[in-house]
Structure 1
Amino acid sequence: MEIIIRDIIPTHIVEKPGFRNLILLLEPKYTMVSRQCLQYTPVPEKVQIVQQSIKDQLEDVKSCSVTLDIWSSRRMHGYLGITCHFVSSNWQIKSFLLCCKQIKGRHTGDSISLEYESVTEEYGITTKVFKVITDNASNMIKAFGPMIHELTIVNDDDDEDKSEETNEYSSSSEDDDTDENDNSGDEDEDSTFVTNAFDSIPVHRGDRLSCFAHTLQLVVKDGLNNSKQMSSLLNKLSKLVNHIKKSTIAMERVEMQNKKGVIPKNDTRWNSQLKMVRRILELNLEGVTDKKELQLSSHEKAILKSFVAIFEPFEIATDLLQGEKYSSVSMALPSYYGIIQNVKKVQDTSRYNQQIITTLLQSLEKRLGHMERNSFYCIAATLDPSFKLKWCTGSGEKVLTEEMVLREMRKNLDSDNAHHMPTVETSGKEVESAEPPSKKRKLFSFMDTDTSNTEDSLEGSIVEKEFKMYLDDTDFTQDENPLKFWKMKAKKYPILSTIAKNMLGVPATSAPIERVFSHSGNILRPNRCRLLPKNFEQLIYLKMNAGEL
């Protein structure tokens, strides 16, 4: 069972002569089960065991968040995927796949809503869901309600069912061999529904957050679509790369001169273009082609270097915020500011791609500017001890953020949750470290010059004293996992740690469910397309929750 579930091996392996001979060699007395027996007995039993284990853990959870999306297989069967995330009593982020079930008919907001309610009720988390993370498709907005800023903005993004080739928004995902295509959904793109989007939304439904990576991808798309010069140059690079890949002589010369080859672009991943450009600039392409129309001039290389400098912050932010084993949401707002600051630096130092830069900055403000006024993102960033209030761009913003945190602390102090000290277990493995620190340092370099200290006004009440103590606490290294800090300091900061446990477990992106779809594509590969939906649902459920076996 382990090899079938963990390694995504077809159950008919038990009928293969080579596998049978191996088992016979290891244990001659063992009687091999049939494929039918494996599918109809052990697999369903394992599903029940894992499902009960997850339900038991969720029963003790006070708050959790979910990511949700729809995916289409090669046979165009639609599947609704839902993952659940929370911070455990040991201050580890726990993630489970709740379902990847077939959803028939039109993928409307109402049908998605009904399926969601059924799943959350089954796992007993209907009233525990804190945030729901989805992409910007109109059917998702209709199902879960818009964010506040979306009430005044016409939704201009297509509904998206992820096709068989889908994957994360970045190539740094765990499963990098599966591409991502977007197929249009079934919901009509009609902005009129936005004003009534809260109608029939259940009282206990978690607030919807837009996937940061998906929104960032739309920003990049806006920038690239607004520059004919860059589009033409990128097309030229694509032709050069295709020429090299289709010519054995050209490929041999490239590999001989550089010890590495070219990277082709992928139309479904914006950052594949960035990787293609970066690799071309690294290579010595002398003598690779005699076609003058494919040769790069020094002027074109300068434009491409500027292109790389502009989009590298977007790539870093996308990679960082797609993490699943550390707090990603606390980096969302600082990443937004970091991208803006880095892009403005290029704007001030380079005379190339100014039109792209202007469009990107406008799109960032339009699509992500609401985060500056969103108390959730502000508080989450402040509760990351590597940021605290350093991400604030001015004294006014610091004062407003302090008020947001204090208001949240008072609300928690008055609730039942705050009267109980967060429990801390000493057993279990350590919390995993965050992403490579070099990426964080580069993106968040705008905070290096921060010299501010705690405002003197933070005095008086228990809430204000605890917050001031936290801001003055220096017992934390820049590259340390925030959850490790809160695990050690939970008793010292009981009110803040309660809020941190609730907020820092929220994923900033819907990458967790995209990873599920990547594995789904590996299970339903071309030679397994006839796998029954029921059997597929069981296999992907066990694969993604293999830690509970």
Structure 2
Amino acid sequence: MSSTVSKETFSKDHYQKLIIINDSSITLLKPSNSRSELWSKFSQLHHLNIAQNYIVCNLCRVVLKWSSETGTRVMKNHNCENKPTPKSSTTPSRQRTISSYMPPPPDNYSSIKDRVVEACVEFCALDGNSFETVAGEGFVNLAKQLMNAGALIGTGLSVSDLLPHPTTVSRNVDRVYNRLKDQLINFCQKVEHFTITCDFWSAPFTGLHYGGISLHFVDDSFSLRIFVLACKLYDLPNQKAYNIRDFVNTTVEQFGLKINEDVFVVSDNEPKMCCAFREGTTRVGCSAHYINKVIEHAFELNDSPCAGVKILFTIVRDLISYIRQSHKQSSLSVCVQNYCKTRFSSVYLMLNTFVQVYNELPSLLNNSQRESYLKISYTELEQLTKYLRHFHDVIEKLSCELTPTIHLVIPYKQLLINRSTKNDDDHQNLIQLKRYLVEHLKTYWIISDIHYVAMLLHPNLKSCYLIPSKKAHAIQLLKSEVDKSLGSVIVHPLQTTTLNNNNNKVRRNMHVADSLDEIYDIPANENYLQKPLIEKSELDLYLADETRIDNNMNLLTYWDLNKSLYPILARIAKRILAVPATNTSVERLFSHSGNTITNRRTRLDADKVNQLLFIKRNIRILKGLYPSAVEQCTRRKNSSASDDATPSTTPNKNLQLIVGREEINQAIADEDSGHDQF
């Protein structure tokens, strides 16, 4: 709930009078972070736009004493005088209804929910779990299974007899992993083109080295699929290039896939990774690493010409380190973040949190730290933070896993270069930083042929208006891809009179307020319908098409809608757009592994870590692709119940319930027949 900003200045009775006369100084608002359904009937009272420790019932307009510490208790206990009275039954008094033979349902389950809340508090306290655990997908699924078990067997069975032993859970991780792995192997048999991302890391608590590999491809329905293949223990003698390549090849081949010249591999830009995938495949550098390294060199290299911003960076980092080490963090309104070399956009995140608490710091610093604080130019700090925000936003856009991102690399690189031009009011130190970043972005951030091809595959980017000098080169590369897709067959002209008008419904230009949208083309006129074209190849038709789509539209959706109009280009799009712009899918995997291998689980076997992370990252997608027998039975029953609108008598309902339980029990038995016993 939202805590109050200021204590109340009037009594409850006074506020009640103001509510009755609809005084203009009173406003009723919902707390921004309210979750309970009870807030649909109540509003928090604000006097002169300051939140007070009172709420108002939306029905009877009664003012109630409330605070964030008491939660929703006062709402539950409120007996509203304007509650709608139940309608009187038209049934004769001497005729009994079917509801009279059953106990009436409770008005609410507040007492039950209170006991559940108390049990969750004890769960978090006794087992040392975070509060977010009770909102986790796994915990919710466990609670659902326990509710289903209680509905079937009642309360006669002891909970300790129902819950498995920890060793049983550990042993059955292998079974779940093997089942999901077999499903993924079966699903990969349909994969024609795919991309691999890989990276390596070391566990801080155990010192063991792990290698992470993820699989990316576009399926027949033009949906982007991302699976984690492994986060395995790297047990080879060293991390030389040939050992890394052998490790990746062996892991990928376990899923029935093979790396060849048509497969793309996205990795960071370390020399060992470049050497490992130099031959027999096509390596694409991680764009997020390129951006992060350029910024890192500007602030950390000794020979960097950006001395002014380096001094500011050092002062801010030292002040934040002092605040965190002196345990004064709780006195600030925002949690300040320190610089971390291995985290993307870490310089921006540190400076941004520092700017937010800038005016709160003097009272927390000692004399020595206050002298350093006074050396900071707030104008320079604010300008630097706003400038680095562009790099942070680009990294976030390129790290998306839900939609393709490879087509955004060239436009966003040029956008960052354009945003680095000198402004009249720029601080001198910021001008030095911009000059350095422009120079190194052009030389360090390597652009591959696939980036040009992918850019042309977006209808809003094919004009290349940010880099018009590269348009001819990009078109030639796309033509080469078309020829490669057709083999030795020449592209024959297509006879056509007009484009598919049905697809034009979803094509429109959307230059919204998002500053990053300026990379897209702006149509010359409002008529997006293509004029009749004749004797044009498929590629010529596409390049001449002036239609536009929503900038936020999934690019794969566009190609799914136009696969019959541009079949060759659609096949190319399925292959090219599966390549991610960054390898952040593996970077996020390492973050999950850090949450798995903690100081409380240092003896966790490396194979078990691999299995747990495989289950965590893949189970949601594989459950949707391969639902269990119980889920299939439940879906079939729900579908039958929704389709059948004919009322049935009580005996038929009982019979249907019995049959339904038998079907579910049979499905469970079929699932467990092939599993080892606990």
CA contact (8 A) 2:329 2:335 kept: no
Task: Encode CA deviations 1:358-395: one digit per residue, 9 max, x unaligned.
Answer: 22112111112x41xx321011011123322245422x
CA contact (8 A) 1:67 1:133 kept: yes
Task: Encode CA deviations 1:315-372: one digit per residue, 9 max, x unaligned.
Answer: 111111111111011111111111101112558855442222222112111112x41x
Which residue pairs with 2:251 in the alignment?
119
Q: CA deviation at 1:108?
A: 1.5
Q: 1:132 is aligned with what amino acid?
A: V
- Seen in structure 2, the aligned counterparts of structure 1 residues 346 and 379 have a Cα distance that, compared at 3 Å, is farther
Task: Encode CA deviations 1:411-430: one digit per residue, 9 max, x unaligned.
Answer: 223379x99xxxxxxxxxxx
Which residue pairs with 1:377 in the alignment?
451
Does 2:417 correspond to 1:340?
yes
- Seen in structure 2, the aligned counterparts of structure 1 residues 280 and 33 have a Cα distance that, compared at 3 Å, is closer
The separation in 1 between residues aligned to 2:607 and 2:395, in whole angstroms, is 34
Which residue pairs with 1:142 in the alignment?
275
Which residue pairs with 2:319 in the alignment?
240
Describe the SS at the equivalent of 1:209: strand
| TM value normalised by structure 2 | 0.59
CA contact (8 A) 2:210 2:232 kept: yes
Which residue pairs with 2:460 in the alignment?
386
Which residue pairs with 1:473 in the alignment?
547
Q: CA deviation at 1:310?
A: 2.8
Does 2:240 correspond to 1:108?
yes
Q: CA deviation at 1:283?
A: 3.9
Aligned ranges 1:84-233 → 2 under 5 Å: 84-104=215-235, 105-127=237-259, 130-145=263-278, 201=279, 205-225=280-300, 226=304, 227-233=306-312
Q: CA deviation at 1:407?
A: 2.6
Which residue pairs with 2:157 in the alignment?
28
Structure 2, gaps ≥5 residues long: 1-132, 143-149, 493-509, 624-678
Which residue pairs with 1:528 in the alignment?
601
Q: 2:157 is aligned with what amino acid?
A: P
- Seen in structure 2, the aligned counterparts of structure 1 residues 76 and 320 have a Cα distance that, compared at 3 Å, is same
Task: Encode CA deviations 1:54-109: one digit per residue, 9 max, x unaligned.
Answer: 11221111100010111211211111111100111121111111112111121211
- Seen in structure 2, the aligned counterparts of structure 1 residues 246 and 464 have a Cα distance that, compared at 3 Å, is closer
Aligned ranges 1:120-519 → 2 under 5 Å: 120-127=252-259, 130-145=263-278, 201=279, 205-225=280-300, 226=304, 227-245=306-324, 252=331, 254-255=332-333, 260-269=334-343, 271-283=345-357, 285=359, 287-288=362-363, 289=365, 291=367, 292-296=370-374, 300-346=377-423, 351-368=428-445, 370-371=446-447, 374-394=448-468, 396-414=469-487, 441-445=514-518, 447=520, 460-469=535-544, 471-474=545-548, 476-519=549-592
- Seen in structure 2, the aligned counterparts of structure 1 residues 537 and 278 have a Cα distance that, compared at 3 Å, is closer
Which residue pairs with 1:77 in the alignment?
208
Q: CA deviation at 1:467?
A: 2.3
Q: CA deviation at 1:512?
A: 0.6
CA contact (8 A) 1:132 1:207 kept: yes
Describe the SS at the equivalent of 1:527: coil
Describe the SS at the equivalent of 1:324: coil
CA contact (8 A) 2:460 2:520 kept: no
Q: CA deviation at 1:478?
A: 1.8
Higher RCO, 1 vs 2 (CA within 8 Å, ≥6 residues apart): 1
Describe the SS at the equivalent of 1:491: coil
- Seen in structure 2, the aligned counterparts of structure 1 residues 527 and 57 have a Cα distance that, compared at 3 Å, is same
- Seen in structure 2, the aligned counterparts of structure 1 residues 398 and 281 have a Cα distance that, compared at 3 Å, is same
CA contact (8 A) 1:102 1:533 kept: yes
CA contact (8 A) 2:196 2:215 kept: yes
Q: CA deviation at 1:502?
A: 0.7
The separation in 2 between residues aligned to 1:261 and 1:32, in whole angstroms, is 39
Count of residues in Structure 1 that have an aligned counterpart in Structure 2: 446
- Seen in structure 2, the aligned counterparts of structure 1 residues 48 and 497 have a Cα distance that, compared at 3 Å, is same
The separation in 2 between residues aligned to 1:119 and 1:329, in whole angstroms, is 25
Q: CA deviation at 1:117?
A: 1.6
- Seen in structure 2, the aligned counterparts of structure 1 residues 527 and 136 have a Cα distance that, compared at 3 Å, is same
Structure 1, gaps ≥5 residues long: 14-20, 146-200, 420-435
Q: CA deviation at 1:275?
A: 2.5
The structure number with the bigger radius of gyration is 2
Q: 1:499 is aligned with what amino acid?
A: I
The separation in 2 between residues aligned to 1:142 and 1:246, in whole angstroms, is 42
Task: Encode CA deviations 1:229-284: one digit per residue, 9 max, x unaligned.
Answer: 222212222333345446677963x53xxxx4544333433623322323333446
Q: CA deviation at 1:213?
A: 0.7
The separation in 2 between residues aligned to 1:250 and 1:379, in whole angstroms, is 49
Q: CA deviation at 1:507?
A: 0.9
Which residue pairs with 2:170 in the alignment?
39
Describe the SS at the equivalent of 2:421: helix
The separation in 2 between residues aligned to 1:524 and 1:391, in whole angstroms, is 48
Describe the SS at the equivalent of 1:339: helix
Describe the SS at the equivalent of 1:51: helix
